[in-house]
Every structure is written in C-alpha cells, then in structure tokens.
Structure 1
Amino acid sequence: MARKSRKLVVVSNRGPYRHEATRGNERWVRAAGGLVTALDPVLQKRGGVWVSAKPAKDFDSVTVPAPHLTYDLAHVSLKRAEQQGFYEGVSNAVLWPLLHGFEPTIQVGDAPWSSYVGANQEFADTTLSTSSGHDLIWIQDYHLMLVPGLVRTQRPKARIGWFCHIPWPPPDTFGILPWREEILEGLLGADILGFHLPEYAEHFRQCVERFTTYRVSRGAIQYHGRKVKTVAAPIGIPVDDLQALAIDPDVGREVERIRRAMANRRLILGVDRLDYTKGIPERLAAFERLLRADKAARTRYALIQIMVPSRTDVKAYADLKEEIDRMVGDINGRYAETGCVPIHYLYRNLSQRALFAHYRAADVALVTPLRDGMNLVAHEYAAARTDEDGVLILSEFAGAAKHLKGAVLVNPYDIESTTSAIRRALTMKASEKRKRMRSLRAEVMRLDVHSWADRYLAALEGR
C-alpha cells in the first residue's frame, strides 16, 4: 500500500499572496521574488499550509482559504515595533548584506536582536499551531534561522527542513555576527539544511566547526544524538507552466507590440528587484560605455530595465533608487536622439504575462548581480526562449552561473568586460546563439522546481 503523503507546511517571512479589498472588489496579488516563484507551484501541486507574516492591511483571521489556491495561508501577527526590529533592523540591515558578503548597513552591535528572537518565536508558535507531528515543516531563509530549534524544542520528533535562498559566507564573514552561536544552534534544530550550491553548504559546515564543538563528518553534523544533513540543491522554476505561458498567443501579440514600440531596435533586458546586490548601477555604466564608444549604437540598441520596488522605506534602498534614477536620466539626456531613447526604465511589478513578453522580445538578457544565491530570472529567460534565440549574459557571482554553462559569463565589477560582453552578444552568430540557448534550456529543464522540491522533501521524509 502506498504511503499517504504528509501535509507540507512552508514557513517564510513573506507570504505568496497579498489580499486587497477596495470598495467591495477583492483581488489577490502575488508577491515578487524567487522564493515565491519557486514554492508557490510546489504547494499548488501538493497542498498544505503557507505560514508567513501578516501583510499590512490584510486578513484579520489566522488561516485564510484563497479561492484560487489549493493550500491555506496562515499569518503571524507581529507588533509594529517587533516587525521593524526583526525585519528592518536585523534581517535587512545585518543578515542580508553580511550573508551576501557586503558590509551591514548599521552597526551590528546596535541591531535589535531581541526583536529577531521574539519574531522567530511567534513564527514557531504559529507553525506548531497549524501543523501536526506527522507533517513536514519546511522553513525558508535567513529571516527564520531560530525557528527550527524552537519548533524542535516543542516537537522533538518533527521532520524539519530549512532552506537558504541566498549565499552562505565563509566563517571569517559569518563570524562577525555577535549571535553566531545562537543562529547555528537554531539551524541545527532541523533535520535537513539546504543550500543552492556545494560551496555554500561547505561554508556552513566550516562555520559549525569553527564556532561550535559539534562534530562534522561526511556532509552531516552530529547534534545531540541526531544527524543533521547539509545538502546542495539548486532551485529551479516551474518549467512546463512557464513554457506554456511563453507560447501563449496573447504573449506573442505583446511581443510584437513591444518590438513595434521600440522601432525594431535590438533589445537588451534587465529584470531585478531594487537591491544593491543586483549590480544595476554597474550595468547602466556598462551600457553607457557602449553608447559612448559607438554613436550608431544609440539608435540601434535599447536597454529595457524593469525594476520591482522593494524596501523603499529603508534608506540604503531609497538612496540606491535615487542613484539609478539619476543615472538613467543622465544617460538618456546625453545619448537620446529625437524619438529614440536608449534606456526604457519601468519601475513597477509587471504581471508574469507581461514579463514573459519582454523575455521573448529581448535579444539579450543582462543578469549581472554582484552576488546572488541563484537568480531565477536567468532560468526564466531560458524557459521563455522556446525559439532557441537570445543570449544570456550572466554574472559569475550568481549561483546560476555554476550550472548555466550556455551563458556568457562576466565579472560585473569589471565594467569594460561587461560592455564587451554586450557587444559580443549583439553580434553573435545565429548558430552560436542557438547552441548556447539549447544548453541553457536543457539545464533549466533538468533543474525544474518540482524535481527540486521532490528531491528535498524525499530527503526530509527519510526516503
């Protein structure tokens, strides 16, 4: 007899959907970002519960069935001060930059660690109240690194997983944190700790060896009589769903509209959240060098930069937005011709349909983060190119660069080499483009998100 599948409980800071009700009209808005892109289709297929922080001006109830979802939403209600301290003060200002290898945006010693601890306890309590001992609990990312240990304390035999969606740094960087031992203890409450790349998993094990007394052997940590496994599991996208979207006739019509609007110029595309890890100023500088060096490029090529608003109430992000706005204005002011603007700048969240139309219309995708755990935009661009056309320029510091061998790799800090890569991509022969795109698409299909989740959850279930 086949064993009944366990209910899956996903736990993350940000939920997959935001509910909006205006004058009696209701709508569900999907959140941006790689985590939701990856996990929403997994839960849609499997069912279960997604535990997340309650969005502002959203539900009052705890568990909410959404009409179009096959799973429930459970919300954690945090007090405003606790939310600010946990999310802005520790997660955004310290953990996010440090784990990416950047300097924290505040003095680490001034960070409100007690708010992080309190919020993690709230997430653990809600997770326990919405799950049973038989369920699989899958905790996500750096916001909730204490939750595995807190859940384990109350439910010693639970099957608990945690996945890191961003890089994990080496011990010399991680060791800056005053709470390094508490974080490691919290994470070791899990059964399976997942990372995108083997080097991230190795960095974590090195941190355990450096800052604790627990024994590390063959990819696992011996922790109070349990074996905590570390696994490298590169995340993917729902390939079949997105390829179907890519060939949708409505998307095709939008592709033609974009090309007509751009006067059939060769199109370079950037798609990012507003974040200093994404390398957007460096990308703009590289494109500016192309325009400066080649007058014909000013009317022959165009850059479409789609930037999704994010954390706009945080000073570092507001300053970055101001810098990008200024750079776009300066470049367009300097190099625009009548009726021909070099950079088209869309500061908003596009629908998935509109986004895929841009992928299909773009001759080149410019995915050049300064550091990124994976980067699913690179995957989406390849999935959209069912025509086997287009060139992906990819930062060597994105996790995706480890397996997307068909991309043109660049060091995003080297502006001139990025400019050269753009020039090369725009003049690449059709045969080379086709060969590269076939390689990209084959790898993206192999790393399908459902396969990723199935492998991880099989390990979590002990199968």
Structure 2
Amino acid sequence: MARLVIVSNRVPPPRAGRGGASAGGLAVALQSFVAPGTLWFGWSGRVVDKPSGKPRVVEGQGVSYATIDLGSDDYDRFYVGFANSSLWPLLHFRLGLMRYRREDFEGYLAVNAGFADVLLKMLRPDDMVWVHDYHLIPLAAAMRERGFTGRIGFFLHIPFVPASVLEALPPARDLLLALCAHDVVGFQTQTHLSDFLDCARRFSGFAVEGQEVVTNGRRVRAIADPIGIDAQGFARVAARAAGTAYIQRVRESLLGRSLAISAERLDYSKGLPNRFEGFARLLARFPQHHRKISLLQIAARSREDVAEYQALRRELDRLAGDINGRFSQFDWMPLRYMTQTVARTKLAGLFRIAHIGLVTPLRDGMNLVAKEFVAAQDPADPGVLILSQFAGAAEELTHAVMVNPYDPDAIAEAMSTALEMSLEERQERHAVLRRAVFDVTAARYCNVFVDALKGH
C-alpha cells in the first residue's frame, strides 16, 4: 500500500493539531487524517547560521515528522521575500503591496530545490506526495528533474487569481509550468479552479480539456475541494468550554451585553481596518446599540519582520484607541482588542457565547473561522455569522449575512441587523449553515483529494 507523504512549509509538532494555540488550519484539518506510517516533511521554523541539510525526525503516534532548518539568507529570500512579499499579496489581489526581486525568486527556487534533495532521500518508489500551499509551488518540478516519477499532488490554501492579475508577476509562466508538474492540483473554490485553468490556457502553452491540463506526457487534473473542519468535534469542545471558568469570567465582564467576535492572524488580507471602521460606523449611526454590544477582536501577531505587518499593527492600535476614546463610557469599553494567541479550546467557548461572528476578510481562500463559529453555536439560540462575500466560505455558507468588506457602512448595517434579528430567523439561518459545515468536513476534504491523487 502506497505511503502518504505530506509536505508543507511548516510542520506541526506532534499533537499540535488537537487544539493547541499554535495549531493552524492545515494542521487541524490533516491531523485527524494522517495514519501511522505517514511522513510529514517541511521547514522546522528555525533560522540558523549554517543549516546542516539533514532532516530532524520526531516520531508521534506512528507518524514521522521530519524538518530541516533554513539559513538566514534563504529565509530572507524564500520566506520574507518571494513567498510573503510577492506571492501572498499577489494571490490576495493586493498588487500595490507586491514587491518582486529576481534574487528573491532565485532564493525561492533554491529552497524548493533543497527541499527536493532532502525529501527524495527519504522517499520510497511508490510514495504519494501531497504538497501544500504557495511556499512550495516549484517543489514537484524540482523532484521531477531529479527523477521522481511517483504521484504528486498540490493544494493551494489561499486564493488563485485571474490572468489579468497573475500577469503582473514576472515569473508567472514559470510558476504555472511548475504547477503542471503535479498530477493533481486542488483549489478551495470553483472560482479559483476556473481562474487556474484560464491562466494555464493563456500562459503555459498547454491544452486545457475540461478540468485537465494536457502537458508534455502528463495530464494534470484540477479539482475544487473546499477544506472543512471536524464540526462534531469542535461543537463538543465549544459546548464543554462554555462552562469553564475562563468563559464564565468573560460572561461576567460583559454585564449582559451581546458579544461580537473576530479572530484571525494579524494580516492585511483580513480587512481589519475596514472592520474597525465598520464597528465605529455602527456606534455612530445606530446609537440604540450603545452599551449593548462589545466587539472582541483577536488578531494574533504574525510575520513581524515584514514591514507591511508592522504598519498594519500601528494602524490598528491607533484605530482601537480612537474608537474607545470616542465611544467608551466609564463602565463600557466597546472594543476589546488583543494580539495574543488564544488556544482553540478557549476560542470555541468564546464562539459559543457570541451573538455575532464577524468574518470580513478582503480576500480569503476559505476561512475556517467562519465554519468554526457556526459549529460552535447552540442551535436553540444561535448567533449570526456576518461573512465577506470574498471569503471562499461564502460559496458554501450562503445563509450568512453577506457583506462587501470594503464598505464599512455595510458592515455597520449588517451588525445592526444581526443585533435586531429575531430568534426564529437566527434559527432558520443557522440550521442551513450548520448542515453545510457538518457535510463538508476535514475528513471529506482529505478523502476527496487523496482519492484524486490515487487516480480514482
């Protein structure tokens, strides 16, 4: 039986996917799927003066977690440079923030080639390799150049862009050719899939037949496979967490007010300034909600060595101070803003007691927070999900209150609607949302992709 090899930029430490504060969406989605015998390979997260190039292997419940370190120059060019200063803004439609340097792209290719060199020494001939996300687009091409002929799949967790946006990146054709070195390429939504096929048709020179790209000697199958969560498990965690001392302290601090919650990494793709301005418009335009709502914004710090993230944090500090300065009263602070990481178990409890889930990214591949909020709710008295129309989750969660995140007044109006929505309407909306979240689970996502990789 073929072994599954997972490759991602960061590798979760054993047990990190079960609710630890450090567990990201990928770790959470895959951790319950990986079976004994699986190999998970990637960067350790460490930057050292002289990386050895030898993997560090840790065993956890039958799964081998293999990691390598990066040198400082590789980190600057591969991670800070091309991956997060070129690809990330480009694929989130933020061309004004994209910075491209040839030496960064060369470093990006070099790190992927180094990954291929190390990984190939660990592979068996019949292994199936599942590569994740934008950091590692050229990995399969590097592996093919070194003689690997096994099955390789790639999944992009963030958005893909139309040809008119992709062409702004100088090595766009190189990246499309690299994607076509895989056997299966997966995307979160049908829109992202269609954009990829259109770009392949225009930039690669290969033929596109249905949902396949026909290359020199290979047919690349493209699929839409939306990622999900363990909805039942998260719902149980949320119900238990709602009774903990931590959540009781939060309830007491609200003094009977409704809680609106947002939780994500501090990132310019998440629309945080627009969201803060929308909340300010709510308080300015709808004074009937004064003293009746508190917004808890959790924005865990990330990529603090990237200038755009430093500027965003300063802007949010200023906006938070301005909102609380304008609207606070001696016994009411409308905006609670924190940049610490919060464990998923605590987040589950916070989602459970929240009246509004505010998920308004400017662009997102999927956004699992929206699904977690829905799963956490009490069906007898559910909260309201306010969702950006530009989140991938919007294709599935059609009964959320949809907003254009670039319009602060639309956010304000949606929040006012949610605060005044009847119990009957909240229950009706939640019932439809809950079915969608419980149907498209993390296990289903994994099974669909692996079946495609097997050629089924």
TM score, norm. by length of structure 1: 0.92
Q: 2:241 touches 2:345 (CA, 8 Å); kept in 1?
A: no
Aligned to 1:51, the other structure's residue is in SS state strand
What is the letter of the counterpart of residue 342 of structure 1? P
1:298 aligns with 2:301: no
Cα distance in structure 2, aligned partners of 1:387 and 1:343: 27
Aligned to 1:299, the other structure's residue is in SS state coil
What is the letter of the counterpart of residue 31 of structure 1? S
Cα distance in structure 1, aligned partners of 2:211 and 2:263: 35
Question: How far did residue 157 of structure 1 move?
Answer: 2.6
Cα distance in structure 2, aligned partners of 1:224 and 1:110: 27
Query: Structure 1: any 5+ residue segments left out of the alignment?
Result: 21-27
Cα distance in structure 2, aligned partners of 1:219 and 1:47: 32
Distance 1:251 1:226, change over 3 A: farther
Cα distance in structure 1, aligned partners of 2:103 and 2:84: 10
Question: How far did residue 33 of structure 1 move?
Answer: 3.2
What residue in structure 1 maps to residue 390 of structure 2?
397
What residue in structure 1 maps to residue 364 of structure 2?
372
CA RMSD of aligned residues (A): 2.2
Question: For 1:220-369, what aligned pairs fall within 5 Å after superposition?
Answer: 220-248=212-240, 251-369=243-361
Cα distance in structure 1, aligned partners of 2:226 and 2:367: 10
1:331-366: CA deviation from partner (whole Å, max 9, x where unpaired): 111111112100111211111111111101110000
Q: 1:17 touches 1:30 (CA, 8 Å); kept in 2?
A: no
Cα distance in structure 2, aligned partners of 1:419 and 1:29: 33
What residue in structure 2 maps to residue 185 of structure 1?
177
Cα distance in structure 1, aligned partners of 2:266 and 2:407: 21
Match of 1:80 among 72, 85, 88: 72
Identity of aligned residues (%): 35
Match of 1:33 among 24, 27, 31: 24
How many pairs does the alignment contain? 450
1:52 aligns with 2:45: no
Distance 1:447 1:413, change over 3 A: same
TM score, norm. by length of structure 2: 0.94
What residue in structure 1 maps to residue 4 of structure 2?
8
1:446 aligns with 2:439: yes
1:202 aligns with 2:190: no
What residue in structure 1 maps to residue 425 of structure 2?
432
Question: How far did residue 107 of structure 1 move?
Answer: 3.8
What residue in structure 1 maps to residue 399 of structure 2?
406
Cα distance in structure 2, aligned partners of 1:71 and 1:327: 45
Cα distance in structure 2, aligned partners of 1:339 and 1:156: 65
Query: Structure 2: any 5+ residue segments left out of the alignment?
Result: none
Cα distance in structure 1, aligned partners of 2:47 and 2:228: 32
Q: 1:372 touches 1:399 (CA, 8 Å); kept in 2?
A: yes
What is the letter of the counterpart of residue 39 of structure 1? L
Aligned to 2:95, the other structure's residue is in SS state coil
1:232-251: CA deviation from partner (whole Å, max 9, x where unpaired): 11110122321221222665
Distance 1:56 1:63, change over 3 A: closer
1:39-67: CA deviation from partner (whole Å, max 9, x where unpaired): 22222x56512111122279987243255
* Range 301-310 or range 197-206, more displaced: 197-206
Cα distance in structure 2, aligned partners of 1:204 and 1:395: 22
Q: 2:286 touches 2:416 (CA, 8 Å); kept in 1?
A: no
